Amino acid sequence: MTFQNELINWYLINKRDLPWRHTKDSYTIWLSEIILQQTRVEQGLPYFNTFLENFPSVSDFASATEAQVLNLWQGLGYYSRGRNMHATAQLVVNNYNGTFPTLHDDLIKLKGIGEYTAAAISSFSSGEARAVVDGNVFRVLARYFGINTAINTPEGKKQFFKLANELLFREDSALYNQAIMEFGAIQCKPKSPKCSICPLNIDCFAYRNNVVNQLPVKLAKAEKKNRYFNYFILTEGDKILVRERKKRDIWQHLYDFPCIETEMLLDGNDLDFVESVKNIFGNNAEITFVSYKKHLLTHQIINVQFFSLKNYIFNSSKHEELNWVSLNTLDELPKPNVIRNFIEENF
Ligand code: SF4
Strands in 259-262's sheet, in edge-to-edge order, are 259-262, 225-233, 300-310, 286-296
C-alpha to C-alpha distance for 273 and 250, rounded to whole angstroms: 23
Query: Identity (one letter) of the amino acid at 225?
Result: K
Q: Which atom of ligand 1 is nearest to the CA of 199?
A: 6
pLDDT digits (tens, 9 = 90+) for 331-342: 889 999 999 999
Residue 272 confidence class, pLDDT cut points 50, 70, 90 = confident
- Known catalytic residue: 321? no
- Distance from residue 178's CA to the centre of ligand 1 (Å): 17
The residue annotated as part of the active site, out of 6, 33, 128, 182, is 33
- Does 190 have pLDDT greater than 80? yes
Q: Which atom of ligand 1 is nearest to the CA of 198?
A: 6
- Does 60 have pLDDT greater than 80? yes
Q: Which residue's CA is the closest to the ligand 1 atom numbered 4?
A: 204
- Does 55 have pLDDT greater than 80? yes
Question: Do the bridges between strand 225-233 and strand 255-256 make them parallel or antiparallel, or are there none, so unpaired?
Answer: unpaired
Domains of the chain with bracketed CATH:
3-214 (1.10.340.30), 225-346 (3.90.79.10)
- Distance from residue 183's CA to the centre of ligand 1 (Å): 9
- Distance from residue 195's CA to the centre of ligand 1 (Å): 5
pLDDT digits (tens, 9 = 90+) for 305-319: 999 999 999 888 888
Q: Which residue, among 242, 203, 234, has the nearest Cα to 321 in the 3D structure?
A: 242
Residue range 262-272: mean pLDDT, rounded:
85
**Nearest 5°: phi and psi at 5?**
-65, -40
